[in-house]
Amino acid sequence: MTTAQEVKTLTHFIGGQLVEGKSGRFGSVYNPTTGDVIAKVPLATVEETREAIEQAHASFPTWRDTSVAKRAEIVLKFRNLITENMEELLQIICLESGKTLEDAKGEITRGLESVDLAIGAPHLMKGEYSVNVGGQINAYSAKYPLGVVAAISPFNFPIMVPLAQTSMAIAVGNAVVLKASERVPMTALYVSELWKKAGLPDGIWTVVNGDKDAVNELLENPTVQAISFVGSTPVAKYIYETGSKYGKRVTALGGGKNNMIVMPDADLEHVANAFIGAAYGAASQRCMAISTIMPVGKDTADRLVAILKEKITNLKVGPYTNPDSDFGPVISQQSKEAILAAIDRGESEGASIICDGRELDIVKESKGFYVGPTLLDHVKPGMEIYEQEVFGPARNVVRVDSLEEAIELINKHELGNGVTIFTNDGLAARKFTTEIDVGMVGVNVPIPIPVGYHNFAGFKGSRFGEGHMFGPDQARFFTKTKTISERWMAGNASTASTFAFPSNND
């Protein structure tokens, strides 16, 4: 295992082998808990990326022609290897992302749901068949893999998101090129070793480390047939527009300003516990984290804020090596500075600081990238901290007078990733789920992330394109459907010319 003193030079994974970078350009990989550089990651050139795509393309036909049952068997072996190597994976994820062990374990578990769904790819690839649609013609549809597809993944889930983006793509017969986040590349390289041990043919799984040069080549290269992206909304929009311009299928998932509505009849103690986990877990670096809580009515808000203040004050921020830590650092010094600046602006715009994460000793004294849990009350639409996604533990209270007001505010926002309501009123819940314009909706559920066999995606500026990250829609996204009509003529059948379409009169 890499230590804080050792700075390891990482590689790409191309053609089934670890391959040294040729560009001479490197990015720094940090241990967020200490601020130390632990590795150098090569940043691929356009030429290196192109070579990786070509190797994947050359390997594709053999994998395409492998039976779906054999492909599923290799995915199952891969799944077993993940569980067998869980402890080492946990250490790598925690080291390069700063997650707590509990959070990292939860991430792996959720990632395995995508692998489990991919094991069932033979079922999801089944086509349709119709007998004698006209003139003794049978018609059927069949699904085929696209070829080379690419995934561009974020730093906040080093294994869950890459598994969600790629497992089904591989299972249905594609060759995958993953551009992992340059901030957390070690997990992807370790996963590469597991795919190889599982028996995946060389070239079907590729990891190209890089920055915009590598990304643009994936977007523009005509061999790449589809792009799956998860990241910020501005970049998601760029990925979608550029990939679509070059004729690719694109699913680009962006950010979210996820809201939790609290009705007056809700159990506020239960709500507070749910909010704290959903809001501050993983240092709030989740696209599905609850960023804004909307209590309905002044009495509800006053009582809820008092409960939250006590609970948030008792949260423990620290390194993943401390089992008592509730959450760890954010990913980088730049992220830390941006979050602290967002809190400053919120306060200057008139929000009240209920819990101030800027004042913790670990925030001021540690070289790690720590930000303490912060809660701002009396936040209003128009304030920057309400309008913009803050990817860190600065959360908001927006007070509303009615459910209708809450729904209207949420529907007006440009992002529509996730939302949830806490209530014991079935009619209020039904009104909420019917009228809310958000992709993933919860009722008395703190984070409305669907399980791996249901589709995952937001609305509005949270998603560009029509695909999903989880669920059966992935099998459709990574395949193309051929519809085939065939007739087998008897020896004495008429061969006279006809100019009519086949019909049920034939």
Name the pairing type of β-strands 394-397 and 290-295: parallel
The tokens describing 429, both together, are 């819940």
How do residues 336-359 score in pLDDT, each as one tens digit? 999 999 999 999 999 999 999 999
Helix/strand/coil (H, E, C) string of 416-446?
ECEEEEECCCHHHHHHHHHHCCCCEEEECCC
In the chain, pLDDT over 90 holds for what percent of residues? 82
Which residue's entry shows tokens 């440009």? Answer: 414
With cut-offs at 50, 70 and 90, classify the pLDDT of residue 499: low
Which residue's entry shows tokens 């970049």? Answer: 235
Model's pTM, two decimal places?
0.92
With cut-offs at 50, 70 and 90, classify the pLDDT of residue 262: very high
Domains of the chain (ranges plus CATH)?
8-254+462-482 (3.40.605.10), 258-443 (3.40.309.10)
Name the pairing type of β-strands 415-416 and 352-355: unpaired
CA angle 305, 310, 316 (to 5 degrees): 125
Given this model, what pLDDT does residue 500 score? 64
Nearest in space to 426 (alpha carbons), one of 294, 265, 260, 259: 265
Given this model, what pLDDT does residue 5 score? 60
* Mean per-residue pLDDT, 196-218: 97
- Residue 506, pLDDT > 60, answer no
How do residues 24-83 score in pLDDT, each as one tens digit? 999 999 999 999 999 999 999 999 999 999 999 999 999 999 999 999 999 999 999 999
The four Cα atoms 314, 318, 322, 325 give a dihedral, to 10 degrees, of: 40
Could you tell me the strand order of the sheet in which 258-262 lies? 352-355, 374-377, 394-397, 290-295, 258-262, 418-422, 440-443
The tokens describing 150, both together, are 């690419």
Angle of the 46-64 helix axis to the 212-220 helix axis, nearest 10 = 50
* Mean per-residue pLDDT, 136-154: 94
**Contact present, 368 and 319 (Cβ < 8 Å):** yes
C-alpha distances out from residue 63 to 191, 310, 449, Å: 19, 56, 32
How do residues 234-258 score in pLDDT, each as one tens digit? 999 999 999 999 999 999 999 889 9
Choosing from 287, 351, 360, 385, the catalytic residue is: 287
**Known catalytic membership, residue 287:** yes
With cut-offs at 50, 70 and 90, classify the pLDDT of residue 462: confident
Given this model, what pLDDT does residue 470 score? 76
How do residues 408-456 score in pLDDT, each as one tens digit? 999 999 988 889 999 999 999 999 999 999 988 999 999 877 776 777 7
C-alpha distances out from residue 483 to 129, 142, 195, Å: 10, 7, 33
- Residue 220, pLDDT > 90, answer yes
- Rounded CA-CA distance 485/487 in Å is 7
Question: DSSP states of 174-225 as a string?
Answer: -EEEEE--TTSHHHHHHHHHHHHHHTPPTTSEEE---SHHHHHHHHH-TTEE
